[in-house]
Structure 1
Amino acid sequence: MGKFIIVSFLALGLAFYEMSGGSDFVPQERVVVAKAPIASDTRVGQTTDVAVSRNNAASLIALNPAVTTVSLETTTLVAEPAVAVTPAVSEAVTEAVVEETAPVVAADPIDIRAVAGSRVNMRQGPGTNFNVLDTLDGGTQTEVLEVNADGWARIEVLNTGQIGWMAERLLTDG
């Protein structure tokens, strides 16, 4: 009986190894753009864009061990106010009429994602120790309001307006 268990275990392990890609398996690469301090400049708080991936994350931490968290930021585009100058020429005096328009502010981008699992619990707080508010079916459209450092996203269900928390890995990529 012991030989059967060992042979079965080895056969299942080999089957799993082959079905997951075997020696050709390459993990999916995700690139995150983070703000990292500029070491050569003496100005405090100045940052620059740095692409962080699985390949270079360890080297970035080795360069600056004080950096322990990465914050993701979105950029809001704000249009500069338009200034139109129309010269009006009179006999002796040349005047310039300056007309200012109100600045156009772009709306904050909305992070719309769908539920990736078939039936996923939406909870009262960020963790499995919180009560379940609702169970959402796969494909349910949600707006991500915030994501905490532990990987939990506060979401609003678009068709009901209900707000709760869900593990971010259970949402489609936005």
Structure 2
Amino acid sequence: MNRFVFLSFLFMGWAFYELSGGADFVPASARLEAEAESASKPEPSPRATTSRAPVFVEGSNTAPDPSRTRLVLGNTPPEPAPEPVAAPEPTPEPEPVETAEVAPAAPIADVVLSLAALDSISDGTFPAPAKDIRIIDGTLVNIRSGPGIDYPVILQLQGGTEVEVLEDPGTGWIRMQNPESREMGWISANLLRQ
């Protein structure tokens, strides 16, 4: 445990050394002194002979202070001439494409039927989905309140009775509804046929 603590402190010390600049570290006081010395000794620049007008940014929070702004008179470099812009080339007209006559994909009766379905949708009425109707295969079948034999029997139906499948989660039990009495319950999937 002591080694782990020692190695942790060693790692943190190395990380601090690297993040603070490592061997190139310069204390803030030395940096400030170097900046002050460089500000007091102006370096000659090759652009010192050309002057530029002061630039003020529109929309800035401060207005230019006339007492601190100095106007420099002298030769200003000429502005470069704008480069000539080439005129855009006209785009060629696309050539007409020959098309072959295509046979209809669906018979006309199917298209008329689908148009009728679209009309009913635009009227606000939707076609009812097809119901999944299955037949009970057995003599007397128990309908339960939940998907499993642990749930109580709520209804018994005779073999050959048609029921509507409401939900088939794929667990071996199907949620159904008796179309005559509108009672709902769960039945084993093995006891139904299509």
Normalising by structure 1, we get a TM-score of 0.40
The structure in which a higher percent of residues are strand is 1
Normalising by structure 2, we get a TM-score of 0.37
The structure in which a higher percent of residues are helix is 2
